[in-house]
Chain A
Amino acid sequence: GAVVSQHPSWVICKSGTSVKIECRSLDFQATTMFWYRQFPKQSLMLMATSNEGSKATYEQGVEKDKFLINHASLTLSTLTVTSAHPEDSSFYICSASRGAGFLGFNEQFFGPGTRLTVL
């Protein structure tokens, strides 16, 4: 149980185009989904937290208009990189959680990641 998928697994696009990445929880309802970005040989950097049916909460320094996040259902969240540029090239990882739980927090389950290369 607790499987999270991402699509596509890799994408190459031209500078100026937009790219959409999907994150799905396959066997559970994900009240909360998270989007991370990882540069080579670095740790994961949280970009935003999204709750189903609500606007995403972005971390400081992350451009909301650049990285559009939609969490339309309990099993799907999407990240759209708008007007992508080479500096947006990175490994994007999503995770999903069943929500805060009775203890106030819950485990995150990670997707396999999407490698974005912007030419």
Chain B
Amino acid sequence: ELKVEQNPLFLSMQEGKNYTIYCNYSTTSDRLYWYRQDPGKSLESLFVLLSNGAVKQEGRLMASLDTKARLSTLHITAAVHDLSATYFCAGQYPGTASKLTFGTGTRLQVTL
């Protein structure tokens, strides 16, 4: 059974600072997703990482995947207040009918 752990659970950071959210998973996960959730809203897809060494960037967010280390990271560069949200990673692997296993989530608060 795939297990996904995220840390930190809560992150308070100042605008302009950099930080990384970590996502570890227990077994082979051929796809790794990152989502953003604003309060009271559903999930917004950020990144889909398909293979080892994959790196994707969108604005101030960059996600990477290391399948050998079973680790994905979401790096935030020069944070701005608009990035305040909860971020989830989720793993997926074949034979599970597209089932996703979610991490615990990281609540990011960017202060002015």
A: residues with CB less than 8 A from B are 32, 34, 41-44, 46, 49, 51, 93, 97, 99-101, 103-113, 115
What is the CA–CA distance of A98 and B49 in the complex, to the nearest angstrom?
18
Q: Are A103 and B30 touching (Cβ within 8 A)?
A: yes
Q: Name the contact of A43 in the complex, choosing from B42, B93, B99, B102 (C-beta under 8 A).
A: B102
Q: List 15 A-B contacts (CB under 8 A).
A: A32-B98, A34-B99, A41-B107, A43-B103, A93-B43, A100-B98, A101-B98, A103-B30, A103-B94, A105-B31, A105-B95, A107-B31, A108-B98, A110-B42, A113-B41
- A51-B97, A105-B95, A105-B98 known; 6 other A-B pairs, CB under 8 Å? A105-B93, A107-B98, A108-B98, A110-B42, A112-B41, A113-B41
Q: Are A49 and B99 touching (Cβ within 8 A)?
A: yes
What is the CA–CA distance of A51 and B88 in the complex, to the nearest angstrom?
25
Whether, in the assembled complex, B104 has its beta carbon less than 8 Å from a beta carbon of chain A, the answer is: yes
Q: Are B94 and A105 touching (Cβ within 8 A)?
A: yes
For the complex, count residues of B whose C-beta is within 8 A of A. 25
Q: Is the interface of B mostly helix, strand, loop or mixed?
A: loop
Question: Nearest CB to that of A2 among chain B residues?
Answer: B45
Q: Name the contact of B97 in the complex, choosing from A41, A105, A109 (C-beta under 8 A).
A: A105
What is the CA–CA distance of A32 and B97 in the complex, to the nearest angstrom?
8
Residues of B within 8 A of A108 (CB): 98, 100
What is the CA–CA distance of A86 and B49 in the complex, to the nearest angstrom?
39
Q: Are A107 and B48 touching (Cβ within 8 A)?
A: yes
B: residues with CB less than 8 A from A are 30-31, 33, 35, 40-43, 45, 48, 88, 92-100, 102-105, 107
Q: Are A104 and B88 touching (Cβ within 8 A)?
A: no
What is the CA–CA distance of A71 and B103 in the complex, to the nearest angstrom?
27
Name the residue among A43, A51, A110 with the largest chain B CB count within 10 angstroms: A43
Residues of A within 8 A of B104 (CB): 43
Name the residue among A34, A44, A46 with the largest chain B CB count within 10 angstroms: A44
Q: Are A105 and B107 touching (Cβ within 8 A)?
A: no
Residues of A within 8 A of B92 (CB): 105
Residues of B within 8 A of A41 (CB): 107
Nearest CB on A from B31, distance (A): 7
What is the CA–CA distance of A28 and B99 in the complex, to the nearest angstrom?
19
